[in-house]
Amino acid sequence: MAVVTIIGAGMMGSALAFPARENGNEVRLVGTHLDREIIETSRATGRHPKFTKDFPAGLKYYQVEEMETAIEGSDLIIGGVSSFGVDWFGDVVLPKIPDEIPVLSVTKGLWDTPEGKLLTYPEVWQKKLDALGKKTKLCAIGGPCTSYELVAHDQTEVAFCGKEMEVLKKIKQMMATDYYHISLSTDVIGIESAVALKNGYALGIALTIGLNQKAFGIDSELHFNSQAAIFGQSVKEMSRLLDFQGAGTLENLAVGAGDLYVTVYGGRTRLVGILLGRGLTIDEAKAELKGVTLESLVVAERVARAVKKNAELGTLKLSDFPLLLHVDEILTAKKEVKIPWEDFTFEK
């Protein structure tokens, strides 16, 4: 039996407590400074306030000030923060973790630099670790997985990535179940880029749902031609961006496309895309979804900024990313949704 400590009691971090505990491990769930009520509720009821199913019996709960106690004796730390907690996790949590304990992150996203590079979050954290002289082994999770379906034990396949295959194999042994299936990859940049890129594109697909609701009524039947067209364009643009990242393999693209698919069918990105498609501005959509974490907006803006910088440098062409750039102008310039359908066509 291993000891798995999850830091961050949001929905995805908490959902991973299910396969971790059901695989026979001791599991400790630690809330961040934003999760105090979640931990209090979970301690009292045995259930996360946003889940409809109890946690597996035997889970242990810790508030943020008890984090060092929870880390002690752990065999694996799972980072369950959102992309808005990247700095906090790097500055506050990572320095407290002994070098011999590997870290597995669920946080998806990319960071753009002034030079137009796109950094994965493990790369951002590695720079912090290097500055501290620490040797922590950073790993991450990518792939199509929604928290509530993982809790429901829907068959799920993800990819764990990290620099050392032997470390990944040990983590897989701790986490794999008959419903949680894990591929392994040493291509951290590829897996992490693929699952981050899908966020902005899922929003693009959701725009078509809102556009059709605007045209035919909110309760009208779904239209799939337009969604499929945007899905296809999304995969093309994601493939080009993975090539730009030096990670354009079929496996990486498949992980990203699978994650794109599941994101379109549920979650926060779908909601904001629908509202924008109905005609709301981004400010109005944010107000409508007050309190909802919208990580997809940040990723879309960062990637678009990197694309534009590289177009200036001559390393990318703006004409290869019409969907991304339209999503960006909706978010940053607050332009009306007007999908550039003809820009997606090609002649070969």
Q: Output DSSP code: residue 169.
A: H
Tokens of 165: 């295959």
- The overall average pLDDT reported for the chain is 96
pLDDT score, position 199: 87
Q: CA-CA distance, 260 to 89, in Å (whole number)?
A: 26
117 part of the active site: no
| pLDDT, tens only, 56-92 | 999 999 999 999 999 999 999 999 998 889 999 999 9
- What average pLDDT does range 217-226 have in this prediction? 92
**What confidence category does residue 294 fall into, taking pLDDT thresholds of 50, 70 and 90?**
confident
pLDDT score, position 183: 98
Between 83 and 115, the more confident residue is: 115
- What average pLDDT does range 273-285 have in this prediction? 94
Whether the predicted pLDDT of 217 surpasses 90: yes
Whether the predicted pLDDT of 219 surpasses 80: yes
pLDDT score, position 102: 98
Which residue is catalytic, options 60, 135, 163, 198? 198
CB 273 within 8 A of CB 210: yes
Whether the predicted pLDDT of 212 surpasses 70: yes
Q: Which CATH number fits domain 189-344: 3.20.20.140, 3.10.310.30, 3.90.79.10, 1.10.1040.10?
A: 1.10.1040.10
- What average pLDDT does range 23-45 have in this prediction? 97
Whether the predicted pLDDT of 293 surpasses 70: no
pLDDT score, position 125: 97
Tokens of 206: 């959701």
For 315, residues 6+ apart whose C-beta sits below 8 A from its C-beta are: 116, 244
pLDDT score, position 267: 75
Q: CA-CA distance, 206 to 263, in Å (whole number)?
A: 10
Whether the predicted pLDDT of 6 surpasses 80: yes
**What confidence category does residue 291 fall into, taking pLDDT thresholds of 50, 70 and 90?**
low
pLDDT score, position 100: 97
Q: Which CATH superfamily is domain 3-186 in?
A: NAD(P)-binding Rossmann-like Domain (3.40.50.720)
Domain boundaries, the chain: 3-186, 189-344
| pLDDT, tens only, 157-200 | 999 999 999 999 999 999 999 999 999 999 999 999 999 999 88
Q: Output DSSP code: residue 33.
A: T
